[in-house]
Amino acid sequence: MIRNMQLVYLAIPLVCLAASLVAGLFGPRIGRAGAHSVTILGVALAFVLSVVVFLDVHAGNRFNGSIYTWALSGGVPFEIGFLIDELSALMMVVVTFVSLMVHIYTIGYMHDDPGYQRFFSYISLFTFSMLMLVMSNNFLQLFFGWEAVGLVSYLLIGFWFKKESAIAANLKAFVVNRVGDFGFLLGIAAVLYVFGTLDYAAVFASAPDAVALQFRFLGGDMTWMTAICLLLFVGAMGKSAQVPLHVWLPDSMEGPTPISALIHAATMVTAGIFMVARMSPLFELSETALTVVMTIGAITAFFMALIGMVQNDIKRVVAYSTLSQLGYMTVALGASAYAAGIFHLGTHAFFKALLFLAAGSVIIALHHQQDMRKMGGLGRVMPITFLTAWIGTIALIGLPPFSGFFSKDAIIEAVHASTLPSAGLAWLALTAGTFVTSFYSFRLLFMTFHGKPRMDKETLRHAKESPWVVTVPLVLLAIPSMIAGALYVEPALFGDLFGDSLFVLPEHDTLARIGAAYEGKHGIELVLSMILHGALQPPVILTLLGAVTAWFLYIKRPDLPDTLVRRFSAIHGMLMRKYGFDEFYERVFAGGARRIGHAFWQTGDARLIDGLMVNGTARSVGWISGIVRHIQSGYVYTYAFAMILGLVVLLTWMLWS
């Protein structure tokens, strides 16, 4: 049995890779149907096997082992290997499930696209990379997967490579992510420096002994543990789009919508969250790092949500929502509520993928119209999309009993219970954020599906519900969006869904503090008392308030928003400019690098080195030879004179000495 399971582990990523290679290399030969069949078959198999692994892990069979030695240098082995435990098994199920849904959906969404086979090849390659990332048992392979998902993200954002905005966005995404990876790689180097190995288990085992190691930094003392955690977290900030490395994610919406759902909402962007949770044995040992994590998360959660309120592009609203929700997850990590963070990662994967795919369904119905100001009243035309979008929205804003309620409420409660210095403000940001979340979500729903249609007649006449390949994934994602929260809240927060894969110090155990309030309650009783408790708390009340506000502004008094925009034009302008991050980065970093590059090239290389040293040498050789040439005149008397002169000098010198 054990031997067979190892083959299963290996098969899960490899079927995706194989399918990707087939679709990519033989795309023209196997045709469209061939490409989607082989990739869907591959990822479906990966999903089924992931479920098998999940059940097997919960039956007590974990695995930690190497597949092959990638390299050996300086006595340090660098391995490729798997760590299969509760955390990775759960991630595998979530990744392969969402990926499968997106694969099926793509048949409908990319139906007319000339790059059909290429697209399927990419998303299968993505699934492979993401699986390698979550299944890794060491930092090297983690980095492999980390960069590989970045590559596929780059390829897919720029999938429509003729579009100038798309290829600007993908370059930006890759380079900004590389800024994060720069920190991440240094973090890995620091891990090797401190622990002498990159193997998770070995590092985690010796982490408590390394906690006191310090070094001098900027005139103060810093523990290596804090440095390692902060550097690794810089990587997470890139991949999980936390302020100030968030700028690439909204632009990534230039890619096809299935990608926004799979990569830029459900899976890749949560890699940072997963990584920090996986590193919980390290982060737990540095309260400084946890405080930074919580602060960054809170800033992202609140301020990115605010931008979502003013966006008119339907995908951008969902994108800013994703940024904000990633902030919620990050705060959970900071509060040591890793389980709540991963739980929210899971529920968010379902409802956010659902919302993106629903948005995509609207976009194809309107022939690639993404501006919500030209939508409205689509509820009657597209009932399934409409209904599932509502389900996704309720799950997102966190109304009980849908899934988002349980995971988000747990995060807010955990922050409340946290004793870190930033916990108070973080709690405020997250709680206020619920109002904003609810507002932008309902604004989207109302502007898209309710009210009077604002598109032209022709478009409206052609608008119809999407085909089954699109709606079936919507329905299949709507189900977990509704029930996954209630179903898994107990094992996730207070039970054994994560087993020993997450590590929390007793003094940081915020979830245990929450759990104390529900002492002795289990199953449906626990769920009900959580709902009862939550319903009277500020988050739910603010959520309802946000919904009512959106209703008032976009259904009851649709004339009001414009007035408000004029009245508060300064704030609105700042939100529209996204706080000016993009301009600042473009001018200072991109422009600055180019200016410095030019200066180095023109002044350093051309003027100083070439001009002064190289050509200067050549010139001075020429100049000297010009003088020396006069001596070699060819006249005998000149030579005779020189000889006599030399003789005189020589004789004088000999006489004197």
Partner 1 sequence: MDGHLLSMLIWLPILGGVTVLATGPDTNAPVARKLSLGISVAAVLLSLPLYTGFDKTTAAMQFIEHASWVRTFNIYYSLGVDGISMPLILLTTALTPIVVIAGWEVIQEKVAQYMAAFLVMEGLMIGVFSAVDAVLFYVFWEGMLIPMFIIIGIWGGPNRIYATIKFFLYTLLGSLLMLVAFLYLYHQSGSFSILEYHTLPLDINTQILLFIAFFAAFAVKVPMFPVHTWLPDAHVEAPTGGSVILAAILLKMGAYGFLRFSLPILPDASHALAGFMITLSLIAVVYIALVALVQEDMKKLIAYSSIAHMGFVTLGFFIFSAQGIEGGLIQMISHGFISGALFLCVGVLYDRVHSRQISSYGGVANTMPVFASFMMLFAMANSGLPGTSGFVGEFLVILAAFQVNAWYAVLAGTTLIFGAAYTLWMYKRVIFGDVANKEVEKLQDVSTREVVFLALLAILVLGMGVWPYPFLEVMHVSVENLVVQATASKL
Cα–Cα dist 192/218, whole Å: 23
Asked whether the beta carbons of 582 and 246 are under 8 A apart, the reply is: no
Number of Cα atoms under 13 Å in the Cβ half of residue 74? 5
Report the first-to-last Cα separation within the chain, whole angstroms.
99
- Show the tokens assigned to 251: 């632009």
Residues 582-641 that bind partner 1 (CB under 8 A): 593-594, 596-598, 600-601, 604-605, 609-610, 613-614, 617-618
Tokens of 577: 């400019």
Helix (H) or strand (E) holding 226: helix 224-239
Indicate which single residue of 112, 164, 209, 562 sits in contact with partner 1 (rule: CB under 8 A).
164
Residue selected from 31, 161, 552, 619 as contacting partner 1 according to rule CB under 8 A: 161
Place of tokens 């099926």: 104
Q: Least Å distance between CB 587 and partner 1?
A: 16
Among 185, 298, 301, 395, binds partner 1 (CB under 8 A): 185
Q: How far apart are CA 110 and CA 76, in angstroms?
A: 46
56, 85, 181, 284: which one contacts partner 1 (CB under 8 A)?
181
Smallest distance from the beta carbon of 613 to partner 1, in angstroms?
A: 7
Among 26, 70, 204, 581, binds partner 1 (CB under 8 A): 70
Which whole-number Å values give the CA distances from 310 to 421, 444, 655, in the listed order?
Answer: 32, 10, 99
Helix (H) or strand (E) holding 656, with range, is: helix 636-656
Residues 6+ away with beta carbon under 8 Å from 166: 157, 158, 159, 160, 254, 255
Of 186 and 460, CB closest to partner 1: 186
Q: Which is nearer to partner 1, 161 or 641 (CB)?
A: 161
Nearer to partner 1, 563 or 617 (CB): 617
Give the C-alpha separation, 371 to 619, whole Å. Answer: 65
Q: Which of 5, 11, 14, 189 binds partner 1 (CB under 8 A)?
A: 189
Q: Which of 13, 81, 108, 158 is the binder for partner 1 (CB under 8 A)?
A: 158
Measured CA to CA, the distance from residue 502 to residue 411 in angstroms comes to 16
Q: With 0-12 CB in 10 A as exposed, 13-18 as middle and 19+ as buried, what is 306?
A: buried
- State the minimum distance, in angstroms, from the CB of residue 15 to partner 1: 18
Residue from 123, 188, 225, 268 touching partner 1 (CB under 8 A): that is 188
Q: In sequence order, which residues have a C-beta less than 8 Å from that of residue 153 and are 6 or more positions away?
A: 126, 170, 173, 174, 177, 252, 259, 263, 264, 268
Q: Is 211 in the site for partner 1 (CB under 8 A)?
A: no
Stretch that binds partner 1, among 186-194, 266-274, 336-344, 468-476 (CB under 8 A): 186-194
Q: Which region among 155-163, 203-211, 529-537, 625-633 touches partner 1 (by CB under 8 A)? A: 155-163
- Residue identified by tokens 């994108």 is 319
Residues 119-148 that bind partner 1 (CB under 8 A): 143-144, 147-148
**Contact at 8 Å (CB) between 443 and 553?**
yes
Give the interface segment with partner 1, choosing from 188-196, 259-267, 313-321, 414-422 (CB under 8 A). 188-196
Q: Does 26 bind partner 1 (CB under 8 A)?
A: no
DSSP 420: S
**Choice from 5, 11, 44, 192 touching partner 1 (CB under 8 A):** 192
Whole-number minimum distance, CB 127 to partner 1, in Å?
16
Residue with smaller CB distance to partner 1, 69 or 569: 69
Q: Nearest approach, Cβ of 375 to partner 1 (angstroms)? A: 29
Task: Please report whether residue 174 would count as binding partner 1 according to CB under 8 A.
Answer: yes
Nearest of 143, 150, 121, 134 to residue 43 by alpha carbon:
121
Site for partner 1 (CB under 8 A): which residue of 30, 52, 113, 182? Answer: 182
Name the H helices within 158-223.
164-195, 200-206
Binding test (CB under 8 A) with partner 1, winner from 7, 10, 33, 76: 76
String marking each residue 546-585 x if it binds partner 1 according to CB under 8 A? ----------------------------------------
Asked if 71 is part of the footprint of partner 1 (rule: CB under 8 A), the reply reads yes
Cα–Cα distance measured from residue 350 to residue 90, given in angstroms and rounded to the nearest whole number: 13
Q: Closest CB to partner 1 among 601 and 623?
A: 601
Closest CB to partner 1 among residues 192, 483: 192
Is 162 a binding residue for partner 1 by CB under 8 A? The answer is yes
Among 436, 270, 239, 274, smallest CA distance to 353 is for 270
Please count the residues of this chain forming the interface with partner 1, following the rule CB under 8 A: 51
Taking the least distance from each CB to partner 1, the nearer of 56 and 181 is: 181
Query: Please, which residues have CB within 8 angstroms of residue 616's CB and are 6 or more apart in sequence?
Result: none
Tokens 């649709």 map to which residue? Answer: 558
The residue within the footprint of partner 1, chosen from 1, 2, 3, 74 (CB under 8 A), is 74
Shortest spacing between CB 630 and partner 1, in angstroms: 24
Q: Which amino acid is at 285?
A: L
Determine, following the binding rule CB under 8 A, whether residue 175 of this chain makes contact with partner 1.
yes
CA distance 270 to 428: 23
The least CB distance from residue 72 to partner 1, in Å, is 6
Site for partner 1, residues 49 to 68, rule: CB under 8 A: 68
SS (H, E, C) 245-287: CCCHHHHHHHCCHHHHHHHHHHCHHHHHHHHHHHCHHHHCCCH
Shortest Cβ distance from residue 622 to partner 1 (Å)? Answer: 12
Angle subtended at Cα 268 by Cα 266 and Cα 272, rounded to the nearest 5 degrees:
110
The one among 7, 41, 72, 555 contacting partner 1 by CB under 8 A: 72
By the criterion CB under 8 A, which residues form the site for partner 1?
A: 68-76, 143-144, 147-148, 151, 154-155, 158, 161-162, 164, 167-168, 171, 174-175, 178-179, 181-182, 185-186, 188-190, 192-193, 593-594, 596-598, 600-601, 604-605, 609-610, 613-614, 617-618
